[in-house]
Amino acid sequence: MTYLLGLIVTLGLLIVVHEYGHYRVAVACGVKVQRFSVGFGRVLWRRQSAPGATEFVLCALPLGGYVRMLDEREGGVPPEQLGQAFNRKSLKQRSAIVAAGPLANLALAVVLFAGAYWVGMQEPKAVLGPSVAGSIAERGGLRSGDWVRAMAGDNGNSEWREVHSMNDLMWRLTQAALQREPVRLQVSDRDGRGSRTLLLDLASFEPREVDGALARKIGLGTAFGEPVIGRVKEGGPALRAGLKEGDRVLSIDGQAVADAQTLRERIRASAATAARGAKDAAPQRWVLEREGRSIEIEVTPRIDGSVNPPVGRIEAFVGKPPEMVIVRHGPWDGLVGGFERMWDTSWFTLKMLGRMLIGEASIKNLSGPISIADYAGQSVQQGPARFLEFLAIVSVSLGVLNLLPLPMLDGGHLMVYIFEGVTGRAVSEEWLARLQRGGIAVLLLMMSVALYNDVARLLGLH
C-alpha cells in the first residue's frame, strides 16, 4: 500500500505541476484554456466555475495529463474568440507556453531538493571499506577506513569540494565516470587524523558500465562498519562456538579482519571449500577482542544451499552499521544547493541519454513505472527528506524528457517553432504528421525498454 500511495503522490504532484506550468503561462498570454486534465480516459471528477470557464477534470488513468487550449486547428473558433486562440499567438508566446511545463518541473525540483536539505538527510559517512583487489580504487591507494573529505578534478586549478556523505561521493564519482575524468580525493583516517591526496584514474572507465553497480566496478568498498558481532541467534553456529554480542573479530585463520564487509565475506566464502553436499563448512580459527582481552575460538559456519552459489552463515548479526551523518543546509545554502543539484542532475540525465543513444551507456539504466513505484515506496519509508529527494529526481527526469526534440513532446514542438523562427514559415501539416508518427514510435520503444528493465529487475535478471 505504501508503494502504491508513493506512486500516486509522485505522479499526481509532478503531472499537476507540469500542466499548471502550461496553464498559467497560457492564461498570462491571453489564451483560452478549455480543459485542465490530470490523467486520461473516463472522467472521475470535474469542476467548472462558470459556463465557458476552464474545466478541471480528474481521469481514471493517472499516467499523464494535458491542457486543452482554444485552437483553430482542432475545430471551429467563434470570431469573437479568435484573439484567444493558441495558434493566433506570436511565436514567442507559443514557445513560452510549451516550455512552461518542463521548466515548472525543473523549478519544482529546485524547491524539493532544497526542502530535503532543509529537513536534513541521514546518510552513511564517507568512510570506505576495503577496496576490491586490482581495482581502480586499490591502484589509487584507497584503504579500508579511509574517510573521503573532499574531491576535485585532476586539473590543478580544479576547486576542492567537501564530500558530505557516501551518497554525495557516489553521485560525484558517477558524473566523473560518465565523462571518463580522473579525480583527486582528499582522505584521512576514519577519526579525521592525517591527510593525503589520492588519484582515481577514471579515464579508462567505460561509460556503458555506469549503472547501479558502479561502486563495485570502480572497486570501492561499502561504507565502513566495525567487525563486531551483534545479536547471536539461538541454536546457531555462532552460539555453539561461544560468540557473544560485542565481540570484535581481529582475524580469521591468521588473516586480519579490518571491517564488517571483510568479516561477512570471509564467513560467506567458507562454503566454497566445503565438500559437495556438506551441511557445515570447515572450522575457522577466530581471534577476538572481548572486554579488553584477546581470545581464540573455533567457528564452524553452516552452509546455506538455498542460494547459488552456496554461502556460509553463523546465525548472528555481523558487523556494526555504518556511522551516519546528517546532511543539512541553512535556508540560503539549501536553496543554492537545490539549484546546483537540479542543474547537475539535468545535465547528467542528458549525458546518460546521449550515451545510451550512441551505445556508450547501458539501456538498463532506463526505468519505468514499476521501478518508480518501488523507489517511491522505499523513499517514503526512509523519511520525508528522502521522499522529497526522490520526487525532485523524478521531476528533473520528467522535465528533461519533455524537452527532448521528439514530436509529441514539448521539446518537439519547440523544435518546430525554432524552424518557423529561422525560416519564417511553419512546418507543413504533412510533415507534422510524419514527425508525430516517428515520435510515437520512439516513445513506444523507450517505454517498452523501460518496462522490460522493470520486469527484469523484478525477476532478478539485471
Q: Which residue, 299, 321, 343, sits at the end of a domain?
A: 321
Q: Is residue 195 part of a domain?
A: yes
Residue 281 has pLDDT above 80, yes or no: yes
- How far is residue 64's CA from residue 62's CA, in Å, rounded to a whole number? 6
Q: Is residue 217 part of a domain?
A: yes
**pLDDT band at 247, cuts 50/70/90?**
very high
- Work out the mean pLDDT of the chain and round it to a whole number: 84
Neighbours of 410 (CB within 10 A): 25
Q: Collapsing DSSP states into helix, strand and coil, what is residue 267?
A: helix
- Strands 183-188 and 248-252 turn out to be unpaired
> Are residue 205 and residue 246 in the same domain, yes or no?
no
Burial of 98-129, coded b for 16+ CB within 10 Å and e otherwise, reads bbbbbbbbbbbbbbbbbbbbbbbbebbbbbbb
List the grid coordinates of 44.
Answer: 472521475
**pLDDT band at 187, cuts 50/70/90?**
very high
- Work out the burial of residue 275: count CB atoms within 10 Å of its CB; fewer than 13 is exposed, 13-18 middle, 19 or more buried: exposed
Spatial contact of 123 and 432, defined as CB atoms under 8 Å apart: no
Residue 403 has pLDDT above 70, yes or no: yes
> Are residue 353 and residue 396 in the same domain, yes or no?
yes
> Are residue 392 and residue 444 in the same domain, yes or no?
yes
- Dihedral angle at the C-alpha atoms of 242, 130, 364, 38, nearest 10 degrees? 80
> Are residue 161 and residue 114 in the same domain, yes or no?
no
> Residue 90 forms beta bridges with which residues?
none
Q: Is residue 9 part of a domain?
A: no
Q: Is residue 15 part of a domain?
A: no
Kindly state the helix (H) or strand (E) to which residue 343 belongs, with its residue range: helix 331-357
Q: Which residue, 327, 347, 373, sits at the end of a domain?
A: 327
Q: Can you give the pLDDT at residue 103? A: 95
433 CB-near residues (< 8 Å, 6+ apart):
none
Supply the pTM of this predicted model: 0.79
DSSP alpha helix (H) spans, 29-160: 91-119, 136-140
> Are residue 401 and residue 442 in the same domain, yes or no?
yes
Task: Order across the sheet with 293-299: list the strands.
Answer: 255-256, 248-252, 284-290, 293-299
- How far is residue 424's CA from residue 107's CA, in Å, rounded to a whole number? 32
Of 168-182, 247-261, 408-422, 429-443, least confident by mean pLDDT is 429-443
Residue 444 has pLDDT above 70, yes or no: no
Q: Collapsing DSSP states into helix, strand and coil, what is residue 191?
A: coil
DSSP alpha helix (H) spans, 255-330: 260-269
Residue 360 has pLDDT above 80, yes or no: no
> Are residue 233 and residue 346 in the same domain, yes or no?
no
Spatial contact of 413 and 87, defined as CB atoms under 8 Å apart: no
Q: Which residue, 292, 327, 362, sits at the end of a domain?
A: 327
Q: Collapsing DSSP states into helix, strand and coil, what is residue 462?
A: coil
CA distances from 135 to 74, 187, 268 (A): 60, 18, 21
Q: Provide, for the chain, the percentages of residues in helix, strand and coil under a 3-state DSSP scheme, each rounded to the nearest 5.
A: 50, 20, 30
Neighbours of 76 (CB within 10 A): 6
CATH number at residue 251: 2.30.42.10
Q: Is residue 56 part of a domain?
A: no
Domain count, the chain: 3
Q: Is residue 238 part of a domain?
A: yes
193-227: per-residue pLDDT in tens?
A: 889 999 888 887 766 666 666 777 888 878 888 89
Q: In the predicted model, what is the mean pLDDT of residues 113-118? A: 94
Spatial contact of 162 and 202, defined as CB atoms under 8 Å apart: no
Spatial contact of 248 and 288, defined as CB atoms under 8 Å apart: yes
119-173: per-residue pLDDT in tens?
A: 998 889 999 888 888 888 888 888 888 999 999 987 766 788 889 999 889 888 8
CA atoms within 13 A on the CB side of 315: 17
- Give the range with max mean pLDDT: 74-78, 287-291, 457-461: 287-291
Query: Which is the catalytic residue, given 19, 123, 315, 389?
Result: 19
Spatial contact of 281 and 274, defined as CB atoms under 8 Å apart: yes
> Are residue 338 and residue 435 in the same domain, yes or no?
yes
Residue 409 has pLDDT above 90, yes or no: no
How big is the chain, counted in residues? Answer: 462
Domain membership of residue 293 as a residue range: 229-321
Place of cell 551523518: 325
Q: Is residue 358 part of a domain?
A: yes
Closest CA to 92 of 418, 426, 427, 408: 418
Spatial contact of 114 and 129, defined as CB atoms under 8 Å apart: no
298 counts as catalytic = no
Of 8-12, 70-74, 80-84, least confident by mean pLDDT is 8-12
Which letter does DSSP use for residue 193 in this model? -
> Residue 324 forms beta bridges with which residues?
124
Q: Is residue 412 part of a domain?
A: yes
Q: In the predicted model, what is the mean pLDDT of residues 174-182? A: 83
Place of cell 475545430: 75
- How far is residue 4's CA from residue 350's CA, in Å, rounded to a whole number? 28
List the grid coordinates of 54.
Answer: 476552464
51 CB-near residues (< 8 Å, 6+ apart):
none
